[in-house]
Amino acid sequence: MTQSHRPAVFVAIALLVAAMPAGAQIPDKFTNLEVLPKDITKPELVKVMRGFAGALGVRCQHCHFTHDPEDLASFDFASDDKDAKQIARSMMKMVGQINTTLNTEIGEARPEHLQVGCFTCHHGNYNPETLEEALVPVLKKDGTDAAVARYRELRTEYYGQAAYDFSEWSLIQIAENLGRDPAQVDAARALLKLNLEFYPESAGTYARMGETYVAAGDTTTALTNFDKAIKLAPEDQWIKRRVDMIKGKKK
């Protein structure tokens, strides 16, 4: 599997900050702080900024105006010219409110490590979206082939990271949701076939494929797929009961 290049971004941030001469680094005094404490120390602020970068998979220029992203001396950290900075402030306030609510509602029962942060939703991705949210709009706008291609792109770039769920059941669930719309049954089958490329012994995929044919009234093809599912998961009682139901209807 192709390794993602994104971790190198985070390494580059650390190396860039470490390699810059003292006069060209982040300033020692800060202005225009609206959410962070105005007396925050430089190490504390750098830690917060690096946390943002890692949680969203971005670099400093995502929020801060600069003429040269590779030169920290060119950054205008106090500038509010970028919308992303305003959004970040809103998100920081939201996170604070959520954590305060958790403290109030859960109290002493709350585990010490239970803290909402940027990574909670973003998982290293600028867009905090699920795999379904990334694929379905593409499918509806540009068709099934485009959605399949997008899945391959995302898997190549993000596999092994937390940004998207590439586990066996992810595409199965998306296909199940799509299959509720008769107009999207073919698309559901295409995603299930795609899933079999990566999980060729997935009983769940064959079972869901069978369901798409049940919905279409093709019990013969449905049972063919369910038979494959049973061979892969002979102890799965749900699959067995589902086959008995389909055969009963067929009789």
Domain boundaries, the chain: 7-122, 131-250
Tell me which of 106-110, 161-165, 168-172, 183-187 is least confident: 106-110
Cβ-proximal residues to 205 (8 Å cutoff; 6+ apart), any chain: 168, 171, 172, 192, 195, 196, 199
The tokens of 212 are what? 């798409």
Quickly tell me which residue has 């900075």 as its tokens: 85
The mean-pLDDT minimum among 89-93, 147-151, 200-204, 228-232 falls in 89-93
Lookup result for tokens 């060209």: 24
Compute the distance between CA of residue 107 and CA of residue 237 in angstroms, rounded to an integer.
42
C-alpha 184/C-alpha 135 separation (Å) is 13
Find the range with the poorest average confidence among 19-33, 140-154, 220-234.
19-33
- pLDDT confidence bin for 250, thresholds 50/70/90: low
What architecture (CATH level 2) is domain 131-250?
Alpha Horseshoe (1.25)
Structure tokens at 224: 């063919």
Can you tell me the mean pLDDT for 192-200? 98
Query: Which of 11-20, 33-42, 51-60 has the lowest average pLDDT?
Result: 11-20
Identify the weakest region by mean pLDDT among 113-127, 146-160, 169-183: 113-127
pLDDT of residue 221: 97
- Tokens found for residue 87: 């959004």
209 token code pair = 């494929």
What integer is the mean pLDDT of 54-70? 86
What is this structure's pTM?
Answer: 0.74
Instruction: Look at the chain and count its residues.
Output: 251
The single-letter DSSP state of residue 77 is T
